Chains A and B, each alone.
Chain A
């Protein structure tokens, strides 16, 4: 049992109610109930709508995962849950449910970090992560470059966005172009018919004196909006496919360039890309080309595992059990700003120490 722990993971940090079940590094079930359609007309995730949906979906999604995996809840070796970062009220639904299941079933509870889970999910696809692993996490909520020696204890932030997340920029550009929400998939689709070199949009934070591994997408977003408005004002037709392709090219250029640079500078020969934006076809393509050229092994999970899901939480939970890491206590908090350095939340005093350290 100890070598192939059976763990259920719960994820409710944003608008997906995810429940995954894994045995070691094998995925047995990945049940997701999404409230994304309820948010579409608002152009972004509405926290209260997400929290209501999590409550409704929780028990049915757990049952669906158990049925798919063909296991009984009593067979589990642990329950893992996203303790943060994310939307406070949404996280709280998942954390409360996880506690109740863990307590009722007499199983250990593991409150884990959403970002570390995004990295660990790749174990379900490509086997155990090499140590160290470089990770580029890009989604509507995050854009970070992380270096991990041990995914259960040691995740170090090398850089992050200083303004918008990459996925947010996709959403905003999609809105400018009138393509709807969420923006990622539709911009990707329209970009395929466009010319990525048509418009030279700016590459944020790419100057010699700029922070090496930080990102900025706010200026790019504004540049796209200005360009489109100027066209409209001149009474000209907006070449949507070219704008989408050129914008996407600017985003993926910066992301992959910095990720490869970070690998080389730190002597890391593996790069994993996770988060919803990792589903972007151009990002995958460009990352592959640049990694091949630099002799870096690229690991990108399939798109379904890149977006928020319970399997990634279960994957990290299983790794926690396998490595005999300390479980969380039943007074575990949902922490909307859980530092990325805190892979799991064993108990309250360590937790506040990590927050202190990040502030100083």
Chain B
């Protein structure tokens, strides 16, 4: 197995190469407004660092969110296009699952909640049991409406300490963790997600309120 993984659903632009056992190379830059500029150079760089020719890859793993849409789509369309051009399968991973996987790798035990920043005073969140399985979410809500687990990670949790007391890192997703999650699931024969964004909200669209008169009433 030789996976190229990346994620653009959080402020991080991150890419990694994974050989089925370990992360061969990883890049991680935080710049919420420049996913479009940074992703492809990061992909190119991580393959060079790993010494892997793109034609030797066996699959692409991509974070399908939830996350702010504009950045999220950069990752998804890049994955779909690379998969198409290189003839590779594309595996979708819920970005919150990848963060949860990283948190557990870093030693977090017991049930916990992952929350990222959904802007507009909301968070994207999901909860996990002691075995690391997702038991609730992904969903988008106002922090005050949530009753999360006692432990929590992610930038969304760090942003709202009243709802998520004692929240800690990882803040954003890392592609290394996402690749490792995907490799583990694939090795166990489990299915991953399709390359389709988890928007969780309907598009913002105002229907114009009829035709507005220009003559004084």
Contacts and interface: CB of A to CB of B under 8 A. Distances in A.
A58 B77 contact: yes
B85 A101 contact: yes
B160 interface: no
A97 B77 contact: yes
Interface string B180-217: 00000000000000000101000111111001011100
B84 interface: yes
* B84, B208, B213: residue with the most chain A Cβ atoms closer than 10 Å: B84
Given A43-B208, A73-B85, A97-B78, A331 B41 contact: yes
Interface string B37-64: 1111101100000000010000000000
Given A55-B76, A225-B214, A42 B206 contact: yes
A100 B36 contact: no
A284 interface: no
* A62, A63, A73, A99: residue with the most chain B Cβ atoms closer than 10 Å: A99
A334 interface: yes
B81 interface: yes
Contact of A96 (B36, B211, B213): B36
Interface stretch (B67-75, B91-99, B133-141, B166-174): B67-75
A245 to B, nearest CB: 21
Interface stretch (A22-30, A45-53, A139-147, A308-316): A45-53
A322 interface: no
Contacts of B43: 103
B22 to A, nearest CB: 25
A104 B206 CA distance: 39
A189 interface: no
A125 interface: no
B215 A226 contact: yes
Contact of A89 (B69, B86, B205, B206): B69
Contact of A330 (B41, B76, B84, B211): B41
A230 interface: yes
Contact of B37 (A48, A58, A73, A333): A333
B159 interface: no
Contacts of A176: 211
Contact of A51 (B44, B54, B70, B84): B70
A43 to B, nearest CB: 5
Contacts of A52: 69, 197, 199, 203
Contacts of A178: 211
B211 A175 contact: yes
* A62, A95, A331: residue with the most chain B Cβ atoms closer than 10 Å: A331
Given A89-B70, A92-B70, A330-B44, A97 B215 contact: no
B32 interface: no
A104 B44 CA distance: 10
A269 interface: no
A4 interface: no
Interface string A96-115: 11011101110000000000
A147 B17 CA distance: 49
B82 interface: yes
Interface of B: 36-41, 43-44, 54, 69-70, 73-74, 76-78, 80-82, 84-86, 197, 199, 203-208, 211, 213-215
Given A55-B76, A229-B215, 6 more contacts: A58-B80, A88-B70, A92-B70, A225-B215, A330-B44, A331-B41
Interface of A: 41-44, 46, 48-49, 51-52, 54-55, 58-59, 62-63, 73, 88-89, 92-93, 95-97, 99-101, 103-105, 175-176, 178, 222, 225-226, 229-230, 233, 330-334
